[in-house]
Structure 1
């Protein structure tokens, strides 16, 4: 081997070693995702959500966070023997909050392929879809979401949600106005600034029940949307824990009891803001 060949060999070896080292460092970084270990060390289970998503995550009149997702997460925390810590987070910053370790998992997130590029989803714990609330003035004109696909109609929904995606995909001819929160968006219909509001079925059903005569609910979903807990990518141990927990509560009646409380009765409505 000549001196020049030896130099080339060394150079290739060093470059290859550097690349291998970078790959190993990347692998090691992903391997460090260990939520279970963090939960055991801190004695806390932290859930990210955006309050105001009826009936999943809401703020009670006394300041507590309540709802279907809250009850499930609280029960999970008790099952693990740790403290439940709610982390109310604006929706547009909820995935960054998860990635930077401000919480352990996200509730109330619809599973989509695009979102799956950034987070890992546990098995879906509830399935639903988008429906429409319309202004009463359109009662005799609008009988289906398809009737709203017209330039003369204005659709309100929350930005960054599957409601926004559904409106843009299926009501592309209409004007779609996006708002920071679902509460701001649905008020556009109440204040006669929009003709319809597109959002998740449970939210719309409860809103229509609370505002009879002010909105009309077209309650046939026009999308299929499974919802699941979102966690950091690479966290397979925590994924296994969440999936096994859900199997347990579905089998022992806990899930049905919590579901009935929030979706089959309205006894809780007077408690929330």
Structure 2
């Protein structure tokens, strides 16, 4: 009888030990799986929020065939850089003059919006290497025969994009007494509309943007001076964000070397 009791206790103990071992193994397996899932979810999953003003063709604009989708030269170029560097992007629609404040406050991580590199802006953000040349051009209505250069702007009204280098150039000319009033507008299409309806006489805007508009809308405006300034566009990050800046510059260099940049240029220009 005593031996039977000992045998029974031994069996119960072995079952208990086996159960504990199975439970521990299962827990360890579950923990390992959870850790693996968590780890896998972080590989190449960094998402950067990009601020853009999508009314600036051919650099960034809404796709007429897909509502809310932003397309353009800048978009394709940044997507190529993101793929090269292994991160993802999320696009945020903002007014142009709200982009730098949004970057400084942490609402966005990168500005991709046909932004000209200037000394004033470099005090507020860090720019990548230039990715395209983009000087300013003087444009008027296609039937305007009075304005042929900056010398003909005395008393004339300018329509410019708020916060742009074109607006800064207009303000400079006004301070020098070379032009009349300035109308500030949010988007390029609004500028052209004001020239068409006679509220404004001319605009000063980025050369490639003006050329792209003329290509898509022939006979509306014409360029009378395409060498007002010689500038370049850059992507912007928050001052001091050297890690992100290095990634963007490296990605830009890589897509130029592998031919992707040229393919994107051919697509839009």
Q: 2:260 matched to which residue of 1?
A: 254
Residue in structure 1 matching 2:167, options 156, 164, 168: 164
Aligned to 1:188: 194
State how far apart, in whole Å, the 1-side matches of 2:144 and 2:268 are.
30
The CA distance in 1 between the partners of 2:110 and 2:49, in whole Å, is 7
Q: Highest CA radius of gyration, 1 or 2?
A: 2
Q: Structure 1 residues 230 and 185, CA, compared in 2 at 3 Å: closer, same or farther?
A: same
Aligned-residue offset at 1:130: 0.9
**SS in structure 1 opposite 2:137?**
strand
| CA distance in structure 1 between the partners assigned to 2:43 and 2:239 by the alignment | 20
Displacement, 1:120?
0.7
Residue 82, structure 1, aligned to residue 87, structure 2: yes
Q: Secondary structure at the match of 1:109?
A: coil
1:178 to 180, 184, 188: 184
Please tell me the root mean square deviation across aligned C-alpha atoms, in Å.
1.9
1:103-153 CA-to-partner distances (Å, cap 9, x unmatched) read 2210121111111111111111111111122123422x22223322x01x1
1:114 and 2:120 correspond? yes
Tell me the secondary structure at the aligned position of residue 97 of structure 2. Answer: helix
- Native 8 Å contact 1:133 1:215 kept in 2: yes
Query: What number of residue pairs does the alignment pair up?
Result: 222
1:59 aligns with 2:62: yes
SS in 2 for 1:165: helix
Question: Which sections of structure 1, spanning at least 5 residues, go unmatched?
Answer: 1-38, 264-273
Contact 1:54–1:206, Cα closer than 8 Å, also in 2:
yes
Partner Cα distance (1:52, 1:145) in 2: 26
Paired residues for 1:81-100 under 5 Å: 81-100=86-105
- 2-side partners of 1:254 and 1:44: how far apart? 22
User: SS state of the match for residue 245, structure 2?
Assistant: helix
Matches within 5 A, 1:107-256: 107=112, 108-139=114-145, 141-148=146-153, 150-151=154-155, 153-170=156-173, 172-175=177-180, 176-218=182-224, 220-256=226-262
Flag structure 2 segments of 5+ consecutive residues without an equivalent: 1-41
Q: What is the CA–CA distance in structure 1 between the aligned matches of 2:95 and 2:193, rounded to whole Å?
A: 19
Distance, in Å, in 2 between the alignment partners of 1:115 and 1:83 is: 26
Runs of 4 or more, structure 1, over 3 Å off, are 39-42
